[in-house]
Amino acid sequence: MPRYRLTVEYDGGPYKGFQLQDDAPTVQGALERAIHGFSSEEARVFVAGRTDAGVHALAQVIHFDLMREWATDVVRDALNAHLRDERISILAAEQAADDFHARFQATGRRYLYRILDRRSPPAVERGRVWWVKTALDADAMNAAAQSLVGRHDFTTFRDAHCQAKSPVKTLDEARVWREGGEVHLAFASRSFLHRQVRSMAGSLAEVGSGRRPTEWLGEILAAADRKLCGPVAPPDGLYLAEVIYEGAASISPR
């Protein structure tokens, strides 16, 4: 039974998250319908990291099994044909080893968060950035973000409904920089707590706006108290940018 590994891009705006739901549109639901549409098989999709409602992906990774073997270009193009009315695109496909697992074999995940800091609201990028009216100091945000790097108890940035066994995580990267008219934030870790990235982004914006000093972020992290977290940033600006697998290069779109 061949196993297929796909790199997927999607706009999370129209979907109630990745995970399948009976009564709401989801990315998984759309993908599984498309797989059935071209193959006539009922395949279950497994994903590297489930995204919440409204969260986007630049390079999500999924896998699924089919009874029949197909050329990978056919899998990519046939799925895209069946997804033409969705905000989902298959960027690349390859046949994977029988024991490959998109989630359990991932050694890292990198997220990008985009903030548009200007007086006028976005038109073209509406739903794809977090719009804040106050100009942000990206350098101050980057300085504050360094206190997050390393192994910490991230309770302060953990959603109340998080189901992770432990709030302790190792953050490998936390960077903030200005990209044209936007402020970009990048975070990398093996895994994240529920809404951890959005919680960190919202608190960093408090520093960037000048409402909080640079050292405040390290202080609330050390306190391990969710009540001290700044406002949680909306899903609009959040993107799953990369999934990392040890000893395996990402498959690139052609």
Distance CA 30, CA 33 (A): 5
> Would residue 236 show up in a list of annotated catalytic residues for this protein?
no
Helices (H), 19-109: 27-39, 72-82
Beta-carbon contacts of residue 180 (< 8 Å; ≥ 6 apart): none
Distance CA 85, CA 79 (A): 11
Long-range contact pairs involving 173-179 (C-beta distance under 8 Å, separation at least 24): 173/110, 173/149, 174/145, 174/146, 174/148, 174/149, 174/200, 175/142, 175/145, 176/138, 176/141, 176/142, 176/145, 176/204, 176/208, 177/138, 177/142, 178/138
| Residue 224, token pair as written in the block | 């391990």
Catalytic residue among 52, 77, 153, 172: 52
Answer left, alpha or beta for residue 237, where phi above 0 means left and psi between -120 and 50 means alpha. alpha
Give catalytic residue positions: 52
